[in-house]
Amino acid sequence: MADAHEPTVRSKRADARRNEQTLLDAASAVFVASGVEAPVRDIAARAGVGTGTIYRHFPTRADLIVAVYRHQIEACAEAGPALLASTPSPHTALGQWIDLFVDFLVTKHGLASVLRSDDPGFQALHAHFLDRLLPVCAGLLDAAVAAGEIRPGLRAYELMRGVGNLCIGADRDPDYDARRLVSILVAGLRHHPGGDGA
């Protein structure tokens, strides 16, 4: 009898995961556009659900923000190898991944203030961020160096830290285009043999 119910249980779990993914995608987009203090009703409207559905999944705003943060870390981590496999140029794959990373960083602004009362929780999230994303960035850098597209010697931590610094304030200043400066940084990694611009 238990076996007969197994597919239904699996199907319900899969539906629940898809629904949660939809909510997290909607929250990510709203946080990028309006910051982490955006009204829950805006997230619900974007996801096509009622606010009660969001509160059922994420009882507090901090729960939602942490879930979005983890969701984006995973999406960013998975994107690196996928871009490397589907893009002929590792330098281009690196640039596309850095674009995703910039989106992630802009969404992340405001997280610390929301979680101010839970410093250990924030520290655990930051450690998770480094554990998941540093190896991905390092893999992209190594591939671009191996292809002769960028000069060697840059560590993943340095690049991610530099990009992070360029993103500070980007969510609050409409006249500041962090992505443009980051694209100049990534373009500057290019290796030009003999200095001939080739």
Q: What is the pLDDT of residues 46-98, one digit of tens each?
A: 999 999 999 999 998 888 888 888 888 999 999 999 999 999 999 999 999 99
Domain identity same for 7 and 95:
no
Judge whether residue 19 has pLDDT over 60. yes
The pLDDT of 123-148, averaged and rounded, is: 92
CB of 79 closer than 8 Å to CB of 101: no
pLDDT range class, residue 197, cuts 50, 70, 90:
very low
- The total domain count for the chain is 2
What is residue 196's predicted lDDT score, i.e. its pLDDT? Answer: 44
pLDDT cut 70: percent of the chain above it: 81
Q: What is the pLDDT of residues 137-172, one digit of tens each?
A: 999 999 999 999 999 999 999 999 999 999 888 777
| CATH code where residue 21 lies | 1.10.10.60
Domain identity same for 17 and 67:
no
What is residue 31's predicted lDDT score, i.e. its pLDDT? Answer: 84
- Across the chain, mean pLDDT equals 84
pLDDT range class, residue 187, cuts 50, 70, 90:
very high
| CATH code where residue 198 lies | 1.10.357.10
- Cα–Cα distance, 60 to 69 (Å, whole number): 14
Domain identity same for 167 and 73:
yes
Judge whether residue 126 has pLDDT over 60. yes
Structural domain for 2, as ranges:
1-59
Domain identity same for 77 and 37:
no
Top-confidence residue, 103 or 4: 103
Top-confidence residue, 62 or 191: 62
